[in-house]
Amino acid sequence: MTRTAGELAKFLGVEIDGDANSPVSGIAAPPRAGASDLIYLESPKHAESAAASAARCVVAQPGVRLPGKTIIRAQDPKLAFAKAAAWLLPKATLAPGIHPTAVVAASAELAPDVSVGPYVVIEEEVQVGAATSIEAFCFVGRGVRLGENCRLHSRVTLYEGVRLGNRAEVHAGAVIGSDGFGYVFGDGRHWKFPQIGVVEIGDDVEIGANTTIDRGSLETTTIARGVKIDNLVQIAHNVRIGEHSILAAQTGVSGSSTLGKHVIVAGQVGIADHCILEDGAVAGAQAGIPTGKTIRHRQTVWGTPARPLEKFKEQYAWFAHLPELAERVRRLERRKPARASRAKSRK
């Protein structure tokens, strides 16, 4: 869809400097942009690349000068660019209707404009809200509730009783509602602990490809509004994740841990059971958080076991000096017998 720079500035609620009639029809990185593509300048160090770009329209901070460009001025250019992209290039929607190869139970309730793709299975007592799309080979288990404007990409599996809010998006291969990993050892064997809870996922949640979210054991696994979960993440039973938190790829969250609001968990972080990450906490990449540990409000931790960032950096700096420190110790050890021999001869 082609818009003008003036229309875009009005949509974003910001000022424009330059030709308000300049057409804008797409987005791109500066080196690949065409004349009608929108680009953004987040840092002055990239000004040369933006100036050399074929793009006529740039999102940049107030005060930035780019001769010959129309500038949409925003305090946060990256955020404004993301909003502009969603406006210029809305996601394609699937045509409403149920593919003839889909299997839909008679008791399932689907809104009239729902899209159901090839070989989808929808079991008894499922409810699907308006404008929701379920792509090929998805499985929607008994009693699942899907809100409005949701999108399940291909091969998503929703076990019995899972609940998704409005505008939730689940990417290919994700499994939600599988049994948690809970066993009790006795009489010489492992006995499975009941896994009869549910999974509740709030509005505007996005879940990455091949991520797994286990149902609660006797309680509920809860993913609150606005949470974004990357690919290949494991969320165990009874975990609670607060609003607008982010979990990067290959992270694992063990059972009964709680993450507050606006928590950031980087890639390959391991969070053991019964941990608490308070609002605004940050766990750096590959951090290991041991059982029962609490990460305080807005605290940043790194390393294994996880520790405050400043302490981690200090210790890491010492690690770099270990070889030379070891050599100093070896020299001291070699000198020790010589000193002992001299002291003995004096006696």
pLDDT digit string (tens) for 161-178?
Answer: 999 999 999 999 999 999
pLDDT attached to residue 59 = 97
pLDDT attached to residue 332 = 86
Please give the average per-residue pLDDT across 228-235, as a whole number: 98
pLDDT attached to residue 262 = 98
Q: Which of 96, 196, 97, 180 is nearest to 143 (CA)?
A: 196
Residues 323-346: pLDDT tens digits?
Answer: 888 888 888 888 866 666 666 666
Quickly tell me which residue has 């080979």 as its tokens.
137
The total of other beta-carbon atoms located within 10 Å of residue 316's CB is 11
Contact 50, 57 (CB under 8 A): no
In the chain, the percentage of residues whose pLDDT exceeds 70 is 97
Please give the average per-residue pLDDT across 86-109, as a whole number: 93
Mean predicted lDDT score pLDDT of the chain:
94
At residue 84, the 3 state secondary structure works out as helix
**Alpha-carbon dihedral sign for residues 169, 171, 172, 173:** negative
Higher pLDDT, 1 or 237: 237
Residues 235-290: pLDDT tens digits?
Answer: 999 999 999 999 999 999 999 999 999 999 999 999 999 999 999 999 999 999 99
Higher pLDDT, 92 or 218: 218
At residue 67, the 3 state secondary structure works out as coil
The catalytic site residues sit at 237
Give the burial string for 49-68 (b: 16+ CB within 10 Å, else e): ebeebebbbbbbbeebebee
Residue 108 carries which side chain, given as an amino acid letter? A
β-pairing, 163-164 with 198-201?
parallel
Q: Which of 196, 204, 268, 202 is nearest to 241 (CA)?
A: 202
At residue 73, the 3 state secondary structure works out as strand
pLDDT attached to residue 1 = 75
Residues 41-58: pLDDT tens digits?
Answer: 998 889 999 999 999 999
Name the pTM for this structure.
0.88
Q: What is the DSSP letter of 30?
A: G
Cα 337 → chain centroid: 59
**Which stretches of 216-280 are DSSP H helices?**
none
Q: What is the DSSP letter of 180?
A: P
Please give the average per-residue pLDDT across 296-321, as a whole number: 90
β-pairing, 3-4 with 23-24?
antiparallel
